[in-house]
Amino acid sequence: MRLLKGSTTFGDGGSFMAIDYDDFNPCPVEVMFAMSEEQAQWEGGRRCIYPEFPDSKRIYFAMDKLDDSLCISKRIGWEREICVRKLDIPRIMDFWYPDGTGAWDYKRLIDPIDGDWVWIVGFGD
């Protein structure tokens, strides 16, 4: 456990506590499917499709490790964006979620996306 130097806070009841740097994340991390900007403008809505990915923080950091052969384009920074073929989504989900996605139905989320390309967009950290 690494502690933030000089960063202390008072917990419940005013008792002194230290912040665990490894688990500290002041900003939420979100990863979502997204449609093209053109489709979003045409439909008059937003580009990102909710709900976000389960375990978004883990997926956000795994985005840069995705095999380049699966990506049409990849932009890794504070905002991460990967463009992939819609047909490759099941393969990517199997890679990121080897035990399955549970009740999260990603297929329902990508159905309304027109065309052959799907974007995976992450914000945070």
The overall average pLDDT reported for the chain is: 85
Secondary structure (3-state) at 48: strand
What are the beta bridge partners of residue 120?
A: 33, 82
Q: Is the dihedral of CA 15, 16, 17, 19 positive or negative?
A: positive
| Percentage of the residues of the chain whose pLDDT score is greater than 90 | 73
Range 93-121 average pLDDT: 95
Does residue 77 have a pLDDT over 80? yes
The secondary element (H helix, E strand) that includes residue 91 is helix 89-96
Range 48-61 average pLDDT: 94
Q: Which residue has the tokens 């932009």?
A: 75
Range 29-51 average pLDDT: 94
Range 22-33 average pLDDT: 75
CA atoms of 98 and 122, how far apart (whole Å): 20
Does residue 1 have a pLDDT over 60? no
Greater confidence (112 vs 2) lies with 112
Does residue 106 have a pLDDT over 60? yes
